[in-house]
Structure 1
C-alpha cells in the first residue's frame, strides 16, 4: 500500500514509524505544517516528505492517515 500521513508531531511521528515498518506499506509520504519537521521524520524513516498537505494529495496514495 501507498500511505500518506498528515502530521508529524509526537503522535504522528509514532504512527509514521509503525507505518514505515509495516510489511504491506510499500511507500510512505508524510506532510506537516512544519515542512522541516516532516523532512526530518521522513529522512529518519526512509519515507518521502511532501512540502504541504496539498502536495501530499498529488501522490498516488491508497490511504491517508
Structure 2
C-alpha cells in the first residue's frame, strides 16, 4: 500500500510543479510539455498499481 501512497504524493508534487511552470512559461513551453508527460507517466503507474492491488484482492481474499 505504501507504493500507492508514494505515487499519490508524487502526483501531487508533479501537479503543483506543472501548475507553476504553466503560470511562468505558458502551455507550449518544452519544459511544461516534459513536466506534463512525466505527470502522465506517474498517473499511469498509479493506475497500474491500483488495478494490480484490486486484482490481487479478488484472487487472494484476506
Normalised by the length of structure 1, the TM-score is 0.28
Q: Give the structure with the larger helix fraction.
A: 2
Q: Give the structure with the larger strand fraction.
A: 1
